[in-house]
Structure 1
Amino acid sequence: MQHRVRAVLLTPNNTMLLIKRIRPGIDPYWVIVGGKIEPTDASPEDALRREVREEIAGEAEIVSVLHTIEDSDERQDFYLATIEKWSFEDRTGPEFSQEDRGEYLLEEIPLTADALDAVNLLPQEIAAVLRNAVERGELLAAR
């Protein structure tokens, strides 16, 4: 089973960082920063910090596990985290150098239900979890 970790990154601007994916023949969609746990990672949290460094050249402060999605092939742990600084131009993840992978754009999304509804955030289950957390004020409270 593939094990992935993702960081719901809350910024000082009361926004969330998402990566917009643009691929030929597919409608644009947004994903949460993260990736698979590598054998060299000491823990899921270390893997998450590595992924944040690779994908947005930032340092995440992990707050808590927010949600887990699991099926027979994959487990994804979504962590709530804060971030103060990042530099998308300095990203180093191997996926960014593969031309056939399409475009990656970093976007700050306001922590509102309307802003979340305006993007095609995948997987849909985490989009619903985040929308509910926003409506209850939980994301702003974590910041």
Structure 2
Amino acid sequence: MQERVRAVLLTPNDTLLLIKRIRPGIDPYWVIVGGKIETTDASPEDALRREVREEIAGEAEILHLLHTIETDDERQMFYLARIEKWNFADRTGPEFSQEGRGEYLLEEIPLTGTALDAVNLLPKEFATVLREAVERGEVLTVR
């Protein structure tokens, strides 16, 4: 089973960092920062820290596991995390240099239900979970 980790990254301005994907022939969509757990990662949290460094050249403080989505062949773990600094220009992930992968744009959006509804956040199941947690006030109250 392939395991993936994702970081719901909260900024000092209480906004959310998302990656907007623009690919030929597909409507734009947004994803949470993260990726595959590698065999060299000591834990899911270590994998998540590595992915944050690779994708946005930042250091995340992982707060807790927020949600897990599991299918027959994949498990995705979504963690709530805080981030103070990042530099998208210094990203190093291998996906950024691969031909045909389209564009990756880092966007900071307000952490509101309205803002989440305005983006096509994937996977949809997690978009719903995140929106509900935001509306219940469970995301910004975690410090």
User: TM-score, normalised to structure 2's length?
Assistant: 0.99
- Unpaired runs of 5+ residues, structure 2, are none
User: 5 Å matches for 1:34-113?
Assistant: 34-113=34-113
d(CA) in 2 for partners of 1:141, 1:93: 31
d(CA) in 1 for partners of 2:15, 2:99: 29
Amino acid at match of 1:107: E
- Unpaired runs of 5+ residues, structure 1, are none
d(CA) in 2 for partners of 1:17, 1:99: 24
d(CA) in 1 for partners of 2:125, 2:93: 25
Q: Alpha carbon RMSD of aligned pairs, Å?
A: 0.6
Deviation string 1:2-45 (CA, Å, 9 cap, x unpaired) is 00000000000110000000000000000000000000000000
Deviation string 1:109-143 (CA, Å, 9 cap, x unpaired) is 10100000000000001100110011011111124
Deviation string 1:65-104 (CA, Å, 9 cap, x unpaired) is 0000000010000000000000000000000001210000
Percent sequence identity is 84
Deviation string 1:51-78 (CA, Å, 9 cap, x unpaired) is 0000000000000000000000100000
Matched, 1:134 2:134: yes
Select the structure that is richer in helix.
1
Matched, 1:114 2:114: yes
d(CA) in 1 for partners of 2:140, 2:65: 16
User: TM-score, normalised to structure 1's length?
Assistant: 0.99
d(CA) in 2 for partners of 1:71, 1:127: 17
Aligned residues: 143
